[in-house]
Amino acid sequence: MTISSAYIHIPFCQQICHYCDFTKFFYNERLADEYLEALENEIHTYIPLEKAKVKTIFVGGGTPTAVNHSQLKRLLKMIDEHFDVASCEEYTFEANPGDLDEEKVRLLKEYGVDRISLGVQVFDDQMLEEIGRVHRVKDVYTNVDRLVQAGLTNVSIDLMYALPGQTVEHFEKTIDEAMQFDLPHYSSYSLQIEPKTIFYQRYKKGTLIKPPEEDEAEMYELLQRKLSRAGVDQYEISNFAKPGFESKHNLTYWNNEYYFGIGAGAHGYLPGKRTINIRPLPAYTKQAMADGKPILHEEPVGLKEQMEEEMFLGLRKTEGVSLSSFKHKYDREMVDVFGQAIPKLKERKLVQEEKGFLSLTPRGRILGNEVFQEFLLDE
């Protein structure tokens, strides 16, 4: 089976955001040098000889652009030496506004990166400070302009809603300002209080209060309405794009296709198994240098799990899961496998069947987790 994509994790940040539970560490030049050496060793284990042909490469974090110029060049060169970048359909780097000086933008362009995902979160300096972001609104304008001038026009920005102290009106201003950029792609996520984060500690103490659920739902509906009117279509629960600019890499996940997961804490999906890498930096670096296999956990994925995941992941897409693709992949009809769940969810108006696809209704999107639970199969 073909490995469609590669996810490469760079865990360094200049500042740790209060809500983030991804694998991340304060940037340190020496640690970053050691990490890149270990990372190359891991990549070489997967791809020892000729360059791997993949449809998409996504370099995420942390903040991949938090490293210095020589380290960024080393990282880009390493990827270029192991992957056939020229035949890649989409090559994305995550970045924080303010990180992208002219030299970093030049390097990204020179090594074939053709898509940038900017972690903007909110267009309000005070709130950026309150959630632990280091950039300010003016940095978004500077960096988007710098990217566009360099010909990197496929830019996506991430927004957050349901933040502490955020009202519906406040989020509407963020949406409006984000839309002024007229970008091809927008992602937006509601705040989740994750363990081992600053926000989690405050939440446990009762000092962090999220907006009420009805406000959160209103923010989400407002986002959908405004972007749809502007011709930026929702193609997944949290993602919106102009036609043809959907994230091909993220579609790898939602289409339940195979991908390499490389770097500290990275998750991968290879034929027959899902992998999770070691998270702590010293332990990851030590193991990757020792044998190039810094895997913490491998979970076998049998037919039952594959079919469940096909539904959990595929139903995140607006178009839903193709009945014919399901039959082609698993040699059985979807309705035969999920004969109890589908009628029940249709009756509750949480899913619908149209043009050969099973998809979530607008109400189903809001109650997504309830829907996904119904697709757990008995042994």
pLDDT tens-digit readout, 137-172: 999 999 999 999 999 999 999 999 999 999 999 999
Residue 17 lies in a domain: yes
The answer as to whether 327 is a domain residue is yes
How much is the pLDDT for 21? 67
The pTM is what? 0.95
Inside any domain, residue 259:
no
Is 379 part of any domain? Answer: no
Average pLDDT, the chain: 94
Same-domain status, 221 and 124: yes
Of 212, 227, 254, the domain-final residue: 254
Tell me whether residue 309 is in a domain: no
CB distance 240 to 187 below 8 Å: yes
Query: What is the pLDDT confidence band of residue 1, given thresholds at 50, 70 and 90?
Result: low
pLDDT at 172: 98
**281 Cα distance to chain centroid:** 21
pLDDT at 280: 93
Domain boundary among 224, 254, 284: 254
In a shared domain, residues 35 and 143: yes
DSSP element (H, E) containing 120: strand 115-121
Quick one: which H or E segment has residue 154? none
- Between 74 and 22, where is the model more confident? 74
Task: Give the pLDDT of residue 19.
Answer: 66
Amino acid (one-letter) located at 138:
K
In this prediction, residue 24 has a pLDDT band, given cuts at 50, 70 and 90, of confident
Residue where a domain terminates, one of 225, 254, 283: 254
Q: Which domain holds residue 67?
A: 5-254
Same domain, 103 and 236: yes
- Looking at the fold, whether 250 and 326 belong to one and the same domain comes out as no
Q: Is the domain of 120 the same as that of 238?
A: yes
Pair 133, 15: CB distance under 8 Å: yes
Domain count for the chain: 2
Residues 6+ apart with CB under 8 A from 102: 146
362: pLDDT strictly greater than 60: yes
* Residue 236 shares a structural domain with residue 342: no
CATH, residue 207: 3.20.20.70
Assigned domain for 302 exists = no
Here the tokens at position 191 are: 């705040």
> Cα separation of 202 and 205, whole Å?
5
Q: Are residues 190 and 338 in the same domain?
A: no
Is 126 in the same domain as 211?
Answer: yes
Same domain, 167 and 88: yes
| Structure-model confidence comparison of residues 320 and 132, the more confident one | 320
Is the model more confident about 210 or about 316? 316
**pLDDT at position 377, please?**
92
- Is 54 among the domain residues? yes
